[in-house]
Amino acid sequence: MTVQPATGRSTRARLATGAVLLVLALAACGKTSDSADDTTTTAKPTTTTEATTTTEATTTTEAETTSTIDPDVIATLEATAEKALLAPEDFGEGYTAEEPTEDTSTGPCTEEDPDDAVPPTVKKGTDISPPTVKAVLEETVRIYYDEAEAKDAYANFKASIDCASGDIVSSDGSTTDVTLGDEEDITAINSDISEAFGKSFTSEGSQIEGYLAAVRVGASIITFQTGYATGEDVSTLPTLDKVIDAGVKKAVAA
């Protein structure tokens, strides 16, 4: 589906959901709530430009470009993102969903929240829990103004976990230690995926482990985090590749 912003440029509403990451105590990078306050309603096409110059020891010139996307377009994108999210019924009997706790946090390998670096136009999320296993699946759908922005955001997500270990710092100042596995290219899981990566993680301090991943399809990125208590038997849960594939198919159809 293609929608037209007020500037006349197109924003791709075609979505894909990528890797599923479960987060138990780990407040993973860029958690979100479904409230309208979390939705960015501006994009950055080349419309009006204001140049500002600051002079200290050296002179720095910064160009700011602003534009407003039509509210009807925003509403359409929000509905699309909501429809793209996986739901308890996609997993089976007894699964439940909760609205994510609003929080911003830095990745273990960078000092900036990826959503602050490249703000999405629309952002929706959900936390899904199985009935008998102590685990959580956090999924967040982000839609950007165009594919170029989505590519930049994807690069920031990769950079945020591009190290062997580090601390995630939440907005309340709390920290979570994380040790990361090797990066895996998971693009081949579904032919609609533009690019995707994933990494396993463990946290000795919080006694949790899981998987972090991001999938880009066109102008959208969906991040997933799976987290469960260390030693928990998760053999009854759906395998990651099946969840990713199901998520991509649902998002593309949204």
Q: Which residue has the higher pLDDT, 172 or 44?
A: 172
- Show the beta-strand stretches assigned E in 130-233: 135-143, 165-169, 175-180, 184-185, 195-203, 208-217, 220-229
Q: 82 pLDDT exceeds 50?
A: yes
Least confident among 28-37, 99-108, 222-231, 239-248: 28-37
Structure confidence at residue 123 as a pLDDT band (50, 70, 90): very high
Report residue 70: phi and psi, to 5°.
-55, 130
Please report the pLDDT score of residue 190 as a whole number.
96
DSSP string, 121-139: SEEEEEEEE-SSSSEEEEE
What gap in Å lies between CA 28 and CA 161, rounded to an integer? 11
Structure confidence at residue 31 as a pLDDT band (50, 70, 90): very low
| Domains, in order of start, for the chain | 2-253 (3.40.1000.70)
pLDDT per position as a tens digit, 195-216: 999 999 999 888 999 999 999 9
Beta strand 2-3 pairing with 11-12 = antiparallel
Report residue 248: phi and psi, to 5°.
-65, -45
Least confident among 81-85, 104-108, 144-148, 161-165: 104-108
- Report which DSSP code applies to 192: T
Q: What percent of the chain has pLDDT over 70?
A: 73
Please report the pLDDT score of residue 103 as a whole number.
67
